[in-house]
Chain A
């Protein structure tokens, strides 16, 4: 007689990643660092946004970047020009950062710099609207970018990313006159699944909306910092 038995397991498939993310966050908390995870499709403007942000806030906040890219250090090199610590993580063939990769970045940050001195770490994720949404890396808030050339229906097609986001940056606003895009519909699509997300329309090129973004970033800093720059 063939008898089978059941064993209840109740184990989260992402348990290992979640544990690692919690561990990373503990490190950040211990050092008084706020960590923001930047996610978008490739080419939505994460790196240029970081360039503008590092430039504008460098007198007010001590920042560092953990930069995920599949194979190159092109983005990391662009950001190093601003004189902040930039840790490049090549994800190899992987399409997202996971908590272990970011732990490696945190380790490098600790080895080469004094993390106690930092206020803010940006994690620039791999360009992808799917997997990064499921893999927490230890961030305190998730920032999604959506460029207006991608179309107003993207939140409907990639709902997890937009449902999980704490802040949505609608980028490349300077291109609006050349596109047939309904920005109100885009906003409604996002709001239909995430009523509390902060939405900022901006153009890194013209500077429109950037101050709103900078203010939001500063509002996320948990530790008391000197904001007199």
Chain B
């Protein structure tokens, strides 16, 4: 599957997409506010017109192998482990950029 359109076209029943749920990590180059704006504008007069885009922010979480624990780097300020200052080598979350699920209702 490549796009939401492919999914929509592949459904046997007639349906209406209500919400599209995205997962966007904080350690990506995507700004949720801009994405919302672009989505609203670009979906006008398409099958996604008026569909709500729900964006779930995922925090940046790294794992320090020296301390053997997870920590939340402060983006823009400090990325290394706050306890032992080891570099951020193992990112556990925050790089996600995906469509997670779609909410829809059936049209009778």
Contact = CB atoms under 8 A, between A and B. Distances in A.
Contacts of B70: none
Interface residues of B, number: 33
A10 B99 contact: yes
Contacts, number: 87
A193 interface: yes
Given A4-B18, A9-B4, A194 B102 contact: no
A11 B29 contact: no
A14 B30 CA distance: 11
Interface residues of A, number: 30
B97 A10 contact: no
Interface in B80-108: 80, 85, 87-89, 97-106
B107 to A, nearest CB: 11
Interface in A192-226: 192-196
Nearest to A15: B2
Report, nearest first, the 10 A-B pairs whose CB atoms are least far apart. Answer: A195-B87, A193-B79, A192-B80, A11-B99, A192-B79, A134-B29, A9-B99, A13-B97, A7-B102, A193-B88
5 contacts: A8-B101, A10-B99, A13-B99, A163-B79, A196-B89
Interface of A: 2-16, 130-131, 133-134, 156-157, 159-160, 163, 191-196
